[in-house]
Amino acid sequence: MGDLTEIAKKTNLFNCLECGKCTSVCPISRFGGQYSPRLMITRSIQGHYDELLVDRQIWTCLTCGMCNVHCPSDVHYTEFTRLARIESNRSGQEGLCSHGGVFQSLTKIMTSSNLKQNRMDWASSDLKISKGGEFLYFVGCLPYFDVFFSDIGVESLEIAKSVIKILNHLGIEPVLLPNERCCGHDLFWTGDMINFQRLAEHNVAEIKKSGAKTVLFSCPECYRTFKLDYPQYVGELGFDVIHLSEFLAGKVANNALKFHALKKGVTYQDPCRLGRHLGIYDPPRQLLTQIPGLTLLEMPKSREMAICCGTSCWTNCDLTSKQIQLGRLRSAKQTGADLLVTGCPKCYIHFKCAQSDQNAADEVKIEIEDLATLTAEALI
Amino acid sequence: MAQKKIKKNGFHPKIVAFACNWCSYAGADNAGVNRIQYSPHFRVIRTMCSGRVKPGFILKAFQLGADGVLVSGCHFGDCHYIFGNERAVELFEKTKKMIRLLGLEEKRLRLEWISAAEGTRWGQIIDEFVDEVTQLGPSPLVSEKTK
Ligand code: FES
């Protein structure tokens, strides 16, 4: 059924030495017992690849990229997982959807060409946006998250509002796309390439139509997808992409942002898409350390060692996910910080959800705030 | 009345009707037993309780080409699981907001309480709903569903 040779070539599968480093750093293996990246590779190489394609475990990987970083033989395990999922998906398999499959359906609905969304209501009049211009802000799925996760106290749209506030502070009035679609990140990582391609084409076409030269992202997943994956599937983009943290790090370097003091100890959760996938570790930290009064307290595992927030692509949320999240929250609390700063709306949601458990102990109770919201709060 | 309108513009909507096992499904059954004549343009999905109908179910129905979705359950106080239908209201409100964001008309979504004895009412509500959705025309999301 599956063609392993092609995939193995692309991902250096046959380089595997079975050293098991991948499994020892894998956050799922740590708590989830059954799952082992090393065994997944060994099984494939030893002729059981077809079996793997119908195995639930193919959907377990968080694609956080921890194993890639540690592999001494340069095996790209996350890419292997992704390619195998494409084949698995073709034969009708899929991961276990969390939240009743609402986000999976949502992204698929977004591929419809007749879609006319109503997603701009949040952009109130005090936020200055313009109809046309060179600078576009890609909001992502925040309006949907805002509705869906309101009951666990997550106001996702605060992120979008804060981004606009910061940009306005810098004298920029960004363009927003009224019919922007999901970037397709989750489809890309769960093997649905047909729908991914459709979303990519829609989004790139709309941005081109708007005439924007630079597109700014607050969501690391959208950013990664545009930066690394879109060019491979829809050709050259024809506009620049930049993440909010990179953009602002450049601005704080020449003092364009005026902050008032915030007396707080903060710790920062590196999102896997921004960190390990794109290597952006310093810009968010430069931004945070520029806010007067803020002290950055690092968790023992940070930067390329940062532990993932426990769930990806809205699939397979289970006890293992919860344990990863609680472990991470505990670690954040142990730094002595008052605030855990996240750079990805999904990390924010996942941690908030883990805390909303009524039995959650005090050792995981730490305030959580998004990087954009915190930055906007510190502006004069 | 409903039938006439449908014939006029040649469009038959596809409606997905979620019905809880203890009241509304029995209500639909009752409509059949009593030979109530009403529109056939709906498909029933039986759930144990209206509280089981998550936003994901409704979006999935739209994703697969439904033109309208009806969620139905027991009247307040009658839910077999005591507060299941109260939960259904919360979920329904959330779904409604998402449907709005997606630009779908809110009229394509409906929540009704129908008891096991209300066969006539089941028929009336389906007729009314089919009528309304027929006026709205096909869901804008239908065209791409199968690709
Ligand atoms: S059992 Fe009918 S609504 Fe709960």
pLDDT given at position A114: 86
| Rounded Cα distance, A163 and A248, in Å | 10
Residue A127 maps to which CATH number? 1.20.1050
Domain boundary among A199, A215, A249: A249
Report pLDDT digits (tens) over A231-274: 999 999 999 999 999 999 998 888 888 899 999 999 999 999 99
Q: Please give the number of the atom of ligand 1 that sits closest to the Cα of B20.
A: 2
Whether residues A156 and A260 share a domain: the answer is no
**Do residues B30 and B58 make contact, with C-beta atoms less than 8 angstroms apart?**
no
pLDDT given at position B36: 95
Domain boundary among A220, A249, A278: A249
Q: Residue-wise over A120-155: b if at least 16 C-beta within 10 A, else e?
A: eebbeeebebeeebebbbbbbbbbbbbbbbeeeebe
- Determine contact: B147 vs chain A, CB below 8 A: yes
Q: Using 50, 70 and 90 to split pLDDT, how confident is the model at A93?
A: confident
Q: Do A114 and B57 touch (CB under 8 A)?
A: no
Report pLDDT digits (tens) over B2-51: 444 445 558 899 999 999 999 999 999 999 999 999 999 999 999 999 99
Q: Which domain holds residue A74?
A: 5-90
Most A CBs within 10 Å, among B18, B93, B102, to test the A interface: B102
| Rounded Cα distance, A13 and A44, in Å | 9
A126 secondary structure, DSSP code:
T
On the question of pLDDT at B1 being above 50, the answer is: no
Q: Quick check: is A95 in a domain? A: no
Q: Do B103 and A112 touch (CB under 8 A)?
A: no
pLDDT given at position A375: 95
Weakest-pLDDT range from A96-105, A185-194, B94-103, B116-125: A96-105
pLDDT given at position B2: 47
Whether residues A75 and A169 share a domain: the answer is no
Q: Do A106 and B147 touch (CB under 8 A)?
A: no
Q: Is the CB of B113 under 6 A from ligand 1?
A: no
**Do residues A117 and B103 make contact, with C-beta atoms less than 8 angstroms apart?**
yes
- The tokens 């469009």 sit on which residue? B11
Report pLDDT digits (tens) over A267-285: 999 999 999 999 999 999 9
Whether residues A199 and A237 share a domain: the answer is yes
Closest residue in chain B to residue A98, using alpha carbons only: B56
Helix (H) or strand (E) holding A39: helix A37-43
Q: Do B140 and A100 touch (CB under 8 A)?
A: no
Q: Do A101 and B56 touch (CB under 8 A)?
A: yes
Q: Which of the listed residues B44, B45, B49, B113 should we mutate to test ligand 1's pocket, taking the one with most ligand atoms within 8 A of CB?
A: B49
Whether residues A116 and A153 share a domain: the answer is yes
Percent of residues, chain B, with pLDDT higher than 70: 90
Phi, psi of A137 (to 5 degrees): -110, 120
Full-model pTM? 0.92
Residue A76 maps to which CATH number? 1.10.1060.10
Is it true that domain B12-146 has CATH number 3.40.50?
yes
Q: Quick check: is A317 in a domain? A: yes
Domain count, chain A: 3
Task: Return the bridge partners of A269, or none.
Answer: A342
ipTM for the whole complex: 0.89
Most B CBs within 10 Å, among A106, A108, A109, to test the B interface: A109
Whether residues A258 and A245 share a domain: the answer is no
pLDDT given at position A103: 93
- Determine contact: A122 vs chain B, CB below 8 A: no
Q: Using 50, 70 and 90 to split pLDDT, how confident is the model at A2?
A: low
The size of the A-B interface in CB pairs under 8 A is: 72
pLDDT given at position A31: 87
pLDDT given at position B145: 44
Report pLDDT digits (tens) over A304-357: 999 999 999 999 888 899 999 999 999 999 999 999 999 999 999 999 999 998
Whether residues A206 and A168 share a domain: the answer is yes
- How many A from CA of B22 to the centre of ligand 1? 6
Whether residues A228 and A271 share a domain: the answer is no
pLDDT given at position B58: 96
Reduce the secondary structure of chain B to three states and give it as a string: CHHHHHHHHCCCCCEEEEEECCCHHHHHHHHHHCCCCCCCCEEEEEECCHHHCCHHHHHHHHHCCCCEEEEEECCCCCCCCCCHHHHHHHHHHHHHHHHHHCCCCHHHEEEEECCCCCHHHHHHHHHHHHHHHHHHCCCCCHHHCCC
Q: Do B101 and A144 touch (CB under 8 A)?
A: yes
Whether residues A84 and A10 share a domain: the answer is yes
pLDDT given at position A92: 87
- The tokens 């392993």 sit on which residue? A4
Sketch the domain layout of chain B as residue ranges. 12-146
Q: Is the CB of B96 under 6 A from ligand 1?
A: no
pLDDT given at position A141: 95
Closest by Cβ to B103, choosing from A116, A194, A198: A116
pLDDT given at position B18: 97
Cα A242 off chain centre by: 15
pLDDT given at position B146: 45
